[in-house]
Amino acid sequence: MAVIHLRIDNRLIHGQVTVAWVNSLGADHLICTNDKVAKDPVQKMLLPQAARGIKTSVLSVADTAEYVKSEAAEKEKIMIIAKFPEDALALLEAGVEPREVNVGNQAMLPGTKPVHVTRSVAVTKEQAPVYRAIAAKVGKLNFQMMTSDSAQDFIQLMEKKGL
């Protein structure tokens, strides 16, 4: 089965993911992917605890791409949570083929001047082409905070804000 969902959410694992998304998708393995987080022993310890018993891995982008192509991954329903859009694009460029890609939360980062595309998603001018590249690779990039929300075309939302 492999990758059933790729979510871009800089909070990584939190209640919305563990309760709503995992249950809705039927995911049985969460993979948090970001090179810096994968090297942080504290986050590698805490993120699986936040997942409330769901198998959880904290991997670099390269290790995530390698794992999802493995024989073990074929038997799993994997939800990947990429910390940043750059992480998601790197996965797609490495050949990861999720069924769908969704933008969740992207809080404003210190020292940046983003545009708030939605209440919970801040996008810099530098990130806008990254989101467009993701959409081009997968066909459609959705924004959807909760599973009960209607999916919205994220590129259209960016365009409405001048990005």
Residue 14 falls in the annotated catalytic set: yes
pLDDT, position 158: 97
Residues of the chain with pLDDT under 50: none
Question: DSSP string covering 96-157, please?
Answer: ---S-EEE--BPPPTT---EEEETTEEE-TTTHHHHHHHHHHHS--EE-SSTTSPPEEHHHH
User: Which superfamily, per CATH, for 2-160?
Assistant: Phosphotransferase system, sorbose subfamily IIB component (3.40.35.10)
* Residue 1, pLDDT score: 61
User: What is the Cα–Cα distance from 12 to 10, expressed in whole angstroms?
Assistant: 5
The pLDDT assigned to 87 comes to 98
**pLDDT computed for residue 15 by the predictor:** 75
| Domain ranges within the chain, ordered by starting residue | 2-160
pTM flag (> 0.85): yes
Query: pLDDT tens digit string along 93-124?
Result: 999 999 999 999 999 888 889 999 999 999 99
Catalytic residue among 5, 14, 29, 116: 14
